[in-house]
Structure 1
Amino acid sequence: MDPVAVADIILQGIVSNPEALRIERRDDPDAIRLGVQVDPDDVGKVIGKQGRTINAIRTVLRAAGAKQREPIYLDLLND
């Protein structure tokens, strides 16, 4: 499954404003990097307490990448 689609499905269920969700994919030689931008009001929800939510999302994406034998990294691009 496409990592952008996986991230989109997960994040759509978390954010209050799904229209503001943007995911950009960058293919590096050694990995796939996903940059995520959400509504400023949703940043706290995506990060979660002590970063637990975003770390859980990264774990799921890592598992999806392991199946394709390519690491996947997720970065939150909001300032």
Structure 2
Amino acid sequence: MQQLIETIVKPLVDFPDEVRVDKDENSSRIVYKLFVHPDDRGKVIGKQGRVAKAIRTIVYSVASGHQKKKTYVDILD
């Protein structure tokens, strides 16, 4: 899942080498934390959050078929 998120995000940003995805897992959920360069944050979030929503939709749909835990994506600096 981390590789999927990176594959989606890297073409969108100006600093692809600074894209990092961390996984935080506990007994009931998995949170993927996406870190990008501060100048790229707006590109990943998109106008009115549309890009971020699209990324989350893709990740949630893939995760629902593979994992039993709830999956979340957070976008951070």
Amino acid aligned to 1:49? K
Q: CA deviation at 1:29?
A: 1.2
Percent of residue pairs bearing the same amino acid type: 33
Distance 1:77 1:62 in 2: 18
Moved more, 20-29 or 53-62: 20-29
Q: Name whichever structure is richer in strand by fraction.
A: 2
Q: Distance in 2 between matches of 1:10 and 1:4?
A: 10
Query: TM-score by structure 2 length?
Result: 0.91
Normalised TM-score (structure 1): 0.89
CA distance in 1 between partners of 2:45 and 2:23 (Å): 20
Aligned length in residues: 76
Corresponding residue of 2:76: 77
Unaligned runs of 5+ in 2: none
Aligned residue in 1 for 2:53? 55
Structure 1, unpaired ranges of 5+: none
Q: Which amino acid aligns with 2:75?
A: L
Q: Would you identify which runs of 4 or more consecutive aligned residues in structure 1 move more than 3 Å?
A: none
| Counterpart for residue 23 of structure 2 | 25
- Report the Cα distance in structure 2 between the residues aligned to 1:4 and 1:76, rounded to whole angstroms: 13
**RMSD of aligned C-alpha atoms?**
1.0
